[in-house]
Amino acid sequence: MNLTHPWFPLLVALAVLIHRLTAGSWRQWALLLVSAGFVLTWKTGSVLAVLLVISISYASTHLAGSDRGAKSRVIVTAITLLTAVLAVFRYHDQVSRLLASLGWGVTVSGAVGVSYIVFQAISYIVDASRGDAKPLNLRELSLFYAFFPKFVAGPIVRVREMFAPGQGQDPDDATFVMGLVRIFYGAVKKFAIADLLALGLVDRVFGNPALMSGPEAFFGAVGYTIQLYADFSGYTDMALGTAMLLGYRLPENFSRPFAAVDLSDFWRRWHITLSSWLRDYVYIPLGGSRVAAWRINLNLLVTFLVAGIWHGSGWTFVVWGLMHGVGLVFERLIGVHGLHRRRDLSLGLKIFAVAATFLYVALAFVFFRAESVHSAIQVLERIFTGPATFDNMDWKLASALAAGFFLQFVPRRIQEAPARFLAALPWPVWTAVMLLGAATIQYLSDVSPRPFIYGGF
């Protein structure tokens, strides 16, 4: 069951009802039961992956002991096993073919959410070994991984965020209504922008670039960047909004990424929980910025190579990751690294920096979206060699492109104004809004919703 499934609003309503009727540890058990039911709606691989991750995490944090050497060996073993779990389920097709070639009639199915829960598990095990996270009991650990609002595509949550003081308590009126509004915002981003761009422009450009004009290929590349943002941030809005209804504040994943003035600024704003995870558990352990210049550059390349491989096994993801790594190294070499920290940028220079960063990010995302490196190169060639016509563009696509780009610049206080207004009204209005929101999402879901893009990672 995805967040766009017609039955998902009913699952959320059931979870909210149970949440209101329970307290203490019973509330966690009840929420875990709902989350387990959600996980069971996916393939067997998802269930097996969650059980394996829970088992490895629990064993490693409760059996490590106090001896430093033994603890290190347990951590290394646990991370190795978790990486193996990620590899088996993330690249299940290749694993199945390998098993078939060995004469084993075993087919490995994919596992939704495995990339996210494995990264969460690694952070938990490392943080627990450092004393930065308390060892969780089995109930807490299971809820940490299976919590249904974030199960499909994150955000990548740390233990200290999931179980911070006040988490899981009954939300106040303003928080509850803000949760409803965020779910609605997420649905609008998903259906009115992301899916419209995918069906009307992006799929056609990447499906057969030879038939596109130069401007259409260009807007197809830009359109995919906006589609990906609307799709992923739409999912995040729905996930965080659902969690808010249950009294949980999950970390934000986006902060106006298209306003970035350099690549390091972009990664402070885009998929924030992944970029912070890569910083804390890959880049800094490699030496971070505390080493010689050549090592810093190498650390950046390795970190973003890991980012590419995390997204998929194809060479397209490797190229995408390395493009960001090389871009960050280039910024350091020409002295524009950290441009976002400068307060003396003129308006003209800032606009140029934002445009240049966005175009480079869109160029890299061509490889992210394409089925192969050759296909990506075809799209890029078409941008510069195709005829200058707009035969396949219309006002709906232009509106979706503009909305997807400029809506992120709307101040948060304006986005939250409807929630503040509704929170001041009597509770029957909230009920009406919740029912209307559920009906709207269910209606939109009936229009052949596409899977969330990051649900595949």
Mean pLDDT of 110-116: 87
Does residue 424 carry a pLDDT above 60? yes
- At which residue do the structure tokens 């393939």 appear? 43
Q: Angle at Cα 147 formed by Cα 144 and Cα 46, nearest 5°?
A: 95
Mean pLDDT of 132-143: 92
Q: Angle at Cα 443 formed by Cα 433 and Cα 244, nearest 5°?
A: 40
Tokens found for residue 343: 């307060």
Does residue 445 carry a pLDDT above 60? no
Confidence (pLDDT) at 413: 80
3-class SS of residue 3: coil
pLDDT tens for residues 355-414?
A: 999 999 999 999 999 999 999 999 999 998 888 777 777 777 888 888 888 887 887 788
Q: How many CB atoms lie within 10 A of CB 66?
A: 6
Does residue 426 carry a pLDDT above 90? no
DSSP string, 143-197: HHHH-GGGTTT-----HHHHT-TTTTSPP-HHHHHHHHHHHHHHHHIIIIIIHHH
pLDDT tens for residues 228-241?
A: 999 999 999 999 99
3-class SS of residue 75: helix
CA distance 406 to 80: 43
Mean pLDDT of 334-350: 80
Does residue 23 carry a pLDDT above 70? yes
Confidence (pLDDT) at 446: 47
CA distance 56 to 82: 7
Are residues 391 and 201 in contact, defined by beta-carbon separation less than 8 angstroms? no
Taking the chain, what is the end-to-end CA distance rounded to the nearest angstrom? 16
CA distance 52 to 328: 36
DSSP string, 184-252: HHHHHIIIIIIHHHIIIIIHHHHH-GGGS-HHHHHHHHHHHHHHHHHHHHHHHHHHHHHHHHTT--PPP
Does residue 448 carry a pLDDT above 80? no
Mean pLDDT (the chain) is: 88
Would you call 311 a catalytic residue per the annotation? yes
Burial class (CB in 10 A: 0-12, 13-18, 19+), 366: buried
Q: How many CB atoms lie within 10 A of CB 369?
A: 23
CA distance 308 to 349: 30
3-class SS of residue 438: helix
pLDDT tens for residues 155-166?
A: 999 999 999 998
Q: What's the pLDDT band for 136 if we cut at 50, 70, 90?
A: very high
Mean pLDDT of 129-136: 88
Asked whether the bond before 155 is cis by omega within 30 degrees of 0, the reply is yes
pTM attached to this predicted model = 0.91
Q: How many CB atoms lie within 10 A of CB 20?
A: 12
For the ranges 260-269, 286-295, 376-385, 439-448, the lowest mean pLDDT is seen at 439-448
Residue 259 is which amino acid? A
pLDDT tens for residues 275-325?
A: 999 999 999 999 988 999 999 999 999 999 999 999 987 899 999 999 999
Confidence (pLDDT) at 272: 97
pLDDT tens for residues 38-62?
A: 999 888 888 999 999 999 999 998 8
Does residue 177 carry a pLDDT above 60? yes
User: What is the percent of the chain with per-residue pLDDT over 70, rounded to a whole number?
Assistant: 96
Mean pLDDT of 211-216: 88
Residue 247 is which amino acid? G
CA distance 16 to 21: 9
CA distance 6 to 9: 7
Indicate which residue of 19, 92, 271, 311 is catalytic. 311
Residue 144's nearest CA partner among 59, 49, 32 is 32
Q: Which residues contact 254 (CB under 8 A, 6 or more apart)?
A: 229, 232, 233, 236, 269, 270, 271, 272, 408
Are residues 82 and 122 in contact, defined by beta-carbon separation less than 8 angstroms? yes
- Helix, strand, coil tally for the chain in percent (to 5): 75, 0, 25
